Structure formats: C-alpha cells, structure tokens
Amino acid sequence: MSSEESANGELVAGRLTELARTRARAEARETEAMLRYRDDEMVRIETCERPLLRQVERAAIVMDIGQAVGLSEGQVHGRLAMADRVREHTPRVWLAFRDGRIDLSRVWEISSTVDVLQRDDSY
C-alpha cells in the first residue's frame, strides 16, 4: 500500500469516526430531550387537582414522545427506563454517551447489564 493510499484510508477512517460520534451525540440529545419532556410534564401534571386526569395525562406523555420521535410506546418506555438506569447507576457511561464516545446501542447493552446486577457494589 502506498503512503497516499494509507493517508487516504486514515482520512476516511477519521471521517467515519467523526460521523459515528456525531450520531451518538444526536442520540444522546434526543434521549435527554425525551427525559426533559417527561420530567417537565410530570411536574405540570402534579398541579392537576383530579386524580383521574393526572393518570390520563401521565399515560399521554409516552404516547406524545413516541409520536414525536417515531417510536412505539413500548420503545419509549424502554428508552426512558434505560436512560434513568444509566444516569443513576453509571454516570460515567452517561457522560461518554453525551460526548459521543459510545452510541445508543452500547448504552442499551450496558443498561441491560446494570439491570441484572443485584449488589450495589457491582455498579
């Protein structure tokens, strides 16, 4: 391989790495926006006086998020649970996600592992 081909390969690899990090940061921003929306709505809903209305409004949060981002309600529930778990138990993983060093699929895998840990010192 010539030095020109090697340099071109490094440029392509560098560009692919930057694109992957950009995608991961976008996934993190989207997930954070979902969390923020949910949390803001939960605060707003708590001001409702009627318990049944609060229950209906809470159920609508996930549906609203799903419609906005093109996910099913189950997928939204899963993503919110994953994000809460990772932020709470593995904050460095969350920071790496926000920085684009790991992507959503890797965060899912880490979250799934965290979910089965049974001792606090395992985190």
Q: Taking a C-beta distance cutoff of 8 angstroms, is the pair 96, 102 a contact?
A: yes
Nearest to 62 by CA among 52, 72, 53: 72
Question: 11: pLDDT confidence band, cut at 50, 70 and 90?
Answer: confident
Q: Say which residue the tokens 């081909």 belong to.
A: 5
51-94: per-residue pLDDT in tens?
999 999 999 999 999 999 999 999 999 999 999 999 999 999 99
DSSP 61: H
Q: Please tell me the distance from the alpha carbon of residue 90 to that of residue 62, in angstroms, as a whole number.
A: 24
Q: Please tell me the distance from the alpha carbon of residue 106 to that of residue 92, in angstroms, as a whole number.
A: 13
What is the overall mean pLDDT for the chain?
Answer: 92
- Mean pLDDT confidence for 2-28: 86
- Mean pLDDT confidence for 95-112: 97
